[in-house]
Chains A and B, each alone.
Chain A
């Protein structure tokens, strides 16, 4: 590679003779007038301001000479003007395409005026103007070889930047943030292509060739790579990707070795190596699944986003979310199954609450995302990009109930339910289908698939009818409906008769013994299964059942509902019994003079109504529990409205009051009790509230009991 003659400028400045001309790197070319350019000439040690003659100027104009080229000046003069040296280039020829060194900015501070645009050739212009350059197809006019997956804009921006002679971030072409991408990419590529370089190749690399002129069509990939390195200096100061990218395990790992222009062996890290502290990485991953694009508004603005699940050749998964511009731009691009290079995302700790992908981290991509389709990954790498599924046997599903982490399951399909439609809270409809799976543990479980999986995969299963295929589903949630139930998620991957040892084993087991083995539902015998089967989720309990042990109490867990038959054993007459409530919303009101102020909505009311807040001890043959009766439930229990009972309670007629209370005691009721676990003053307790109550229907109750006896 041509290099400038180091130290020659020193000699030139001293007016010493230089044989055979000197090699200098030219940069910061700026048109001064008709055919003369000012520039900066560097020899690798120092720089000097330069001026071209008309002849050389023509060369620059014609595109023969451009920034960072190494030129051999055969005829030149060096004068001092105002104590500054100026080297006048009279005659020079390009001997090499250079590369901007890392510390170039200091030597090329000037912003480029628009006049330098003519340096671009029409072809380059075409590329630059290509509005769809963000997509991954190479434009036909590209001087690049096909099969090179280079963002065409990178070529363009690189060209423009080169032409403009500036490596500043400001010198961006109209493609908004593309140059930034190319910068990083360039660096990665540089690392890839200069294995000889030390990892910290940022500082003063040997000048490399640059293809800035599109009129030299036959450039190979390597040169192209290097051309992009024209902007090694990045606006993002903290980047030092080369150290990471080159020579580290990630580099050689998943990508095939460089065999030619088509497979460059980009420096790619394994997803497993991602962490929040390193911001310049590139991963090569397949889009395992893509979530739907959704949007919400915040502060008056609409924010759109979608998530994808990425998996790399090591089988590591990670979730990535694309926001706003990135979401809009790439939603249609990131099709499931395709492989891309991803860069410039933010690695953040994952929020485990959202049943996330099995990774401690998640990636967040915003405007400056860099996505590049990978067309050169060979099949072996591609086939490895499968999330490693860790199957759990059906009998062990019970241990995973309501856990956040998703599970993968595999089993033989014994029954496929019909396609049904569920109405969601927001009135949108979604397709659902249940299938029953069985595995070697001789347990069955019902798996619900949603959306397209229900329709397509489920449809396939329905058609296959009696063949009992093997079904594997990744990322399912385990619930406690019917004891144990499994539900697929949006991003679950459903596979019928998949490859792999587990599927083969299942098939074999089924064919030999499984087909006739007696099976049991995975949820049988579980406490939660008793609550109901195939119908309501409320079964009948005894008071003992609705109380939990202290160590089982989970604060702020979902409230649970139980049916119990109990006797209201005791109502303490001395308790408050009721509170002063707002007629509209039932909240507490405070008396203010003649009016009542509702603290919730701040309104004044002329009158308040009392509402029950009655705590009573309920008992059955298994135990006793304090349960509270509010509002209408209190009305029914005591048989009198709160306002009326207040008259007796607060008035003189305490006997009447006592009588009412007494009458309610020892009454039998069929109750629906809601239990809440909450923390108060450091203590976690269960609170019970009567949701509804009915007088005990003895016939019904007897029948129920007989049922229990007969079974």
Chain B
């Protein structure tokens, strides 16, 4: 893993720690509006994602966005990946938590 280019996986609650940094955010799309989407992050918080790659979302409700944290509630997209329509957010939430708390050294 490239340490210099580390992209931690975050939940809503962790966004504020990574202001201006690149993160990976996974969530379930709730609302689509022009150039933004609002999605539910793994810990339930709603995040606004500013789209830069177009408004097309084929393939499911769950997406992973790689982007820069703009504010504690929004992220600017750099790229996106589809996670299909079956994804267990609860488990993912745990993973996020662990990777940021206990096992940070494994990920970063």
Contact = CB atoms under 8 A, between A and B. Distances in A.
Q: Do A and B bind each other?
A: yes
A301 interface: no
Residues of B contacting A: mostly: helix
Contacts of B102: 709
Contacts of B95: 702, 706
Interface of A: 698-699, 702-703, 706, 709-710
B57 to A, nearest CB: 23
Nearest to A698: B88
Contacts of B91: 699, 702-703, 706
A696 to B, nearest CB: 14
Interface in B78-95: 88, 91, 94-95
Nearest to A706: B94
Contact of B98 (A698, A699, A703, A709): A709
Interface string B56-98: 0000000000000000000000000000000010010011001
B98 A702 contact: no
A281 to B, nearest CB: 72
A709 B91 CA distance: 12
Contacts of A706: 91, 94-95, 98
Closest 5 CB pairs of A and B: A699-B88, A702-B91, A706-B94, A703-B91, A709-B98
Instruction: Categorize the interface residue count of chain B.
Output: under 10
Contacts of A710: 94, 98
Nearest to A701: B91
A641 B82 CA distance: 35
A709 B94 CA distance: 10
Contacts of B88: 698-699, 702
Contacts of A703: 91
A706 to B, nearest CB: 5
Nearest to B92: A702
A706 B88 CA distance: 13
B106 to A, nearest CB: 10
A699 B102 CA distance: 21
Nearest to B93: A706
B62 to A, nearest CB: 13
A129 B46 CA distance: 102
A709 B95 CA distance: 10
B88 to A, nearest CB: 4
Contacts of B94: 706, 710
B78 to A, nearest CB: 27
Contacts of B103: 709
B2 to A, nearest CB: 23
Nearest to B91: A702
Contacts of A709: 98, 102-103
9 contacts: A698-B88, A699-B88, A702-B88, A703-B91, A706-B94, A706-B95, A709-B102, A709-B103, A710-B94
Nearest to A707: B94
Given A702-B88, A706-B95, 9 more contacts: A699-B88, A702-B91, A702-B95, A703-B91, A706-B94, A706-B98, A709-B102, A709-B103, A710-B94
